[in-house]
Homo-oligomer: A and B are copies of this chain.
Amino acid sequence: MRALYLKDGNLQYLTDYPRPERRAGSSLIKVTVAGICSTDLEIVRGYAGFQGIPGHEFVGIVQESDDDSLVGRRVVGGINIGCGTCRVCLSDGPEHCPERTVLGIINHDGAFAEFLTLADENLIPVPEKIADETAVFTEPLAAALRILDQVRIRPTESIAVVGPGRLGMLIGQVLRLGGSQVTMLGRRSESLALPFSLGLDSGLVAEAKDDSYDIVVEATGNEAGLANSLRLLRPQGILILKSTFAGTANVDLSKIVVSEIRVFGSRCGPFEPALRLLAEDKVEVESMIEGRYPLADGLAAFTHAARIGVRKILLRM
């Protein structure tokens, strides 16, 4: 089959990659659309030491499955596959299973290919009214919703999202659903056009005041963004780390201790609520699509996605 294949930091387009073999309890899925996110860019740069087919945001059609009710269904899918038997899997789910594989990230070929396999229990049918190019946002929208799984956010609290990018825009839209005042903060004025077009308050992060927000979501994944996020937080405020950081970074621990900041690492989230929001048009994703590429042009798509300020790049299989 056709696939983007990563080995030793080298991403290639292959036409003869073996079609994945479906194991019992897994389905074979024909990928329709897949999205490129910042984690994919980090993975291609060497993060997580992944080798294989990257890609974890997808929508596709089930081709083969032990579960007849799934065959022919359009699905999205949770990306963490746990062992299913350990204490973590049984109590919390697969997201933190120490033996887990992760679609396109850890020991599991991903979605930048004609076909992928995924555990049946990870698959969620997509309601008909949701278009493919909307459904492909389910995974990152679920990640945005994860914040609400972790932290209580009062409607009276002031929230800043630092980094008005692909993920940041989903986070901003989700957090304002509860009535909170959400401000999208970027480094460049051009990056504020999209938040403005969606009716979200926005501003330059350099102009935002110290100690002025109750909750700050760090969605840049870089050290400067993190430093600004900490700076903006009021004492006892909450910092959500929502971006993939490759390795270590310098952090102002003095502020965290003296101002008793609470920091929450935040990763994968629940798919069902994300699909509900998409079905109800509560979150706008169409204007976030910046480019569409056929899989054969996948390398060009990655180059495009890596440019500063670029929104979502989709691959069509």
A residues neighboring B (CB under 8 Å): 88, 92, 95-96, 98, 150, 211, 226, 235-236, 241-267
Residue of B nearest to A105 (CB): B258
Question: Roughly how many angstroms separate A98 CA and B258 CA in the complex, as a whole number?
Answer: 12
- Given the complex, which residues of B lie within 8 Å of A253, measured CB to CB? 226, 241, 245, 247-249, 251, 265
- Copies of this chain, complex-wide, total 2
The answer to whether B258 and A247 touch across the interface, beta carbons within 8 angstroms, is: no
Q: In the complex, which residues of chain B have a beta carbon less than 8 angstroms from the beta carbon of A96?
A: 235-236, 259-260
Asked if A257 and B235 make an inter-chain contact with CB atoms under 8 angstroms apart, the answer reads no
Given the interface pairs A235-B96, A261-B265, the reply to whether A251 lies near B251 with Cβ below 8 Å is yes
Whether A264 contacts B262 by the Cβ 8 Å rule is yes
Contacts of A249 in B (CB 8 A): 250-251, 253
Chain B residues with Cβ under 8 A from A150's Cβ?
260, 262
Which residues of B sit under 8 angstroms from A267, Cβ to Cβ? 257-258, 260
In this complex, the member of A88, A92, A259, A262 whose beta carbon has the largest number of chain B beta carbons within 10 angstroms is A262
Given contacts A96-B235, A98-B211, A235-B96, contact A258 B251 (CB under 8 A): no
CB-CB under 8 A for A257 and B236, given A250-B250, A263-B263: no
Given known contacts A96-B259, A260-B96, A245 and B236 CB-to-CB distance under 8 angstroms? no
User: How far does the Cβ of A162 sit from chain B's closest Cβ, in whole Å?
Assistant: 14
| Residues of the B chain whose Cβ atoms lie less than 8 Å from the Cβ of A251 | 248-251, 253
Q: In the complex, what's the smallest C-beta–C-beta distance from A284 to chain B, in angstroms?
A: 26
Residue of B nearest to A240 (CB): B257
Instruction: Identify the closest chain B residue to A262 (Cβ).
Output: B264
Pairwise interchain contact B257-A241, C-beta atoms closer than 8 A: yes
Partner of A257, one of B98, B211, B244, B256: B244
C-alpha spacing A226/B236, complex, angstroms: 20
Query: Smallest Cβ distance from A92 to chain B, in angstroms?
Result: 7
A250 contact from B95, B248, B260, Cβ within 8 A: B248
CA distance A257 to B261 in the complex (A): 16
Find the B residue at minimum CB distance from A102. B258
CB distance from A245 to the nearest CB of B (A): 4
Docked complex Cα distance between A36 and B280 (Å) = 61
Asked if A92 meets B241 with Cβ closer than 8 Å, knowing A249-B253, A266-B260, the reply is no
Instruction: Name 19 interchain pairs, CB-CB below 8 A, sorted by A.
Output: A88-B235, A96-B236, A241-B253, A241-B256, A244-B254, A245-B253, A245-B256, A246-B254, A247-B252, A248-B253, A249-B251, A250-B250, A258-B265, A259-B265, A260-B266, A261-B263, A261-B265, A262-B263, A263-B264
User: When chains A and B are docked, how far (Å) is the Cα of A264 from the Cα of B250?
Assistant: 17
- Residues of B with C-beta under 8 A to A261: 263, 265
Query: Quick check: B260 and A262 within 8 Å, CB to CB?
Result: no
- Asked if B254 and A264 make an inter-chain contact with CB atoms under 8 angstroms apart, the answer reads no
Q: Is the CB of A92 within 8 A of B258?
A: no
By Cβ-Cβ distance, the 6 closest A-B pairs, closest first, are: A96-B235, A245-B253, A263-B263, A256-B265, A257-B265, A251-B251
